[in-house]
């Protein structure tokens, strides 16, 4: 029965270096267009939001105005990013003991007051010094606060979009490769046991396999399940969490619930990975490893079955 190639530590070092270089080039060559577009968008939102801080600070709170500030995703983010450091929606709701929704704040003056008071308590004193000092902002202070706030919000959005795009690109590359070797994509379905898996020669996208998520699940022609995790990492430290802890943990679950002879846990990797982590997850946790920059290894294995 064919098995995926097991890499030596020297081979893993070589591939990890190549993946790291590709990652560096992607980051250096990445255009500023997305960041600039987000910066302009958030600049307009923060210009409006920051100028209203003094108004919403008054008592009783203007619940209608506050609800308008957070009525869409970007407006809510801008509001939360007035804090130092920015506060998440979940954390703000927990601390304020109130829901951060426009309809709730419009209808419940107590909720609006609690959200407002919480934000004033954690307002960034460096970006908005005039609030604590009880005065109006100078034009220079206002512009600095808008620029700093817009840059902060735009940067975090770029990071989130970049991470999601890299993962989606990797998953699509894996699917395209499986199709290129004759496999057929079928609708996703939960796979609690082997009988629910796609038929031999078929695969599906992200789904639950034996109680834990897999990015791509393919049934090989010999009926074994190839459970593929798509992993993008931006640091060697991060690679431990994504590869050893996450993928290795899932591999143990799949082996225990489905049987070692029935499932092949695998990871497709791109970015920055520690060769030592790769070697450990391969040899100690029996995870098959493939690199996105050489997906032909994956097609060679599938074709060999």
Bridging pattern class, strands 288-291 and 263-272: parallel
Percentage above 70 pLDDT, the chain = 100
Per-residue pLDDT tens digits for 141-186: 999 999 999 999 999 999 888 877 888 899 999 999 999 999 999 9
Instruction: Please identify which residue in the block is written with the tokens 């097609």.
Output: 299
Distance CA 88, CA 122 (A): 12
Bridging pattern class, strands 184-185 and 225-234: unpaired
Instruction: Please identify which residue in the block is written with the tokens 């990871």.
Output: 267
Q: Looking at residues 114-131, what average pLDDT do you find?
A: 96
For 197, residues 6+ apart whose C-beta sits below 8 A from its C-beta are 191, 217, 219, 225
Distance CA 154, CA 149 (A): 9
Distance CA 252, CA 281 (A): 11
> Would you state the pLDDT for residue 8?
97
- Going along the chain from its start, the domains and CATH numbers come out as 9-29+181-304 (3.40.1350), 33-158 (no CATH)
Per-residue pLDDT tens digits for 10-36: 999 999 999 999 999 888 877 788 899
In this structure, what DSSP letter does residue 123 have?
B
Per-residue pLDDT tens digits for 79-116: 999 999 999 999 999 999 999 999 999 999 999 999 99
């Amino acid at each position: 029965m064919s098995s995926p190639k097991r890499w030596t530590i020297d081979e893993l070092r070589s591939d990890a270096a190549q993946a790291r270089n590709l990652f560096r080039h992607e980051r250096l060559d990445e255009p500023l267009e997305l960041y600039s577009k987000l910066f302009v968008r958030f600049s307009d939102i923060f210009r409006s939001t920051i100028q209203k801080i003094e108004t919403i600070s008054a008592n009783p709170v203007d619940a209608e105005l506050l609800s308008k500030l957070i009525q869409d995703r970007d407006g809510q983010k801008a509001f939360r990013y007035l804090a130092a450091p920015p506060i998440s929606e979940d954390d703000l709701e927990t601390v304020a003991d109130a829901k951060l929704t426009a309809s709730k704040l419009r209808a419940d003056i107590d909720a609006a007051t609690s959200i407002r008071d919480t934000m004033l308590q954690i307002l960034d004193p460096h970006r908005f010094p005039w609030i604590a000092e009880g005065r109006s902002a100078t034009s220079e202070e206002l512009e600095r606060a808008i620029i700093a706030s817009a840059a902060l919000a735009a940067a975090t959005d770029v990071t989130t979009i970049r991470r999601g795009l890299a993962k989606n690109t990797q998953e699509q590359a894996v699917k395209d490769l499986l199709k290129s070797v004759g496999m057929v994509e079928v609708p996703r379905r939960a796979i609690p046991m082997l009988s629910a898996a796609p038929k031999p020669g078929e695969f599906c996208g992200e789904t639950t396999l034996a109680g834990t998520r897999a990015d791509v699940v393919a049934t090989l022609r010999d009926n074994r399940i190839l459970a593929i995790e798509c992993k993008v990492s931006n640091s060697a430290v991060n690679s431990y969490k994504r590869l050893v802890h996450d993928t290795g943990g899932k591999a143990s679950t799949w082996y225990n619930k489905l049987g070692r002879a029935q499932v092949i846990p695998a990871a497709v990797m791109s970015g920055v990975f520690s060769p030592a982590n790769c070697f450990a997850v391969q040899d100690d946790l029996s995870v098959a490893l493939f690199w996105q920059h050489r997906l032909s290894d994956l097609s060679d294995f599938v074709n060999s079955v």
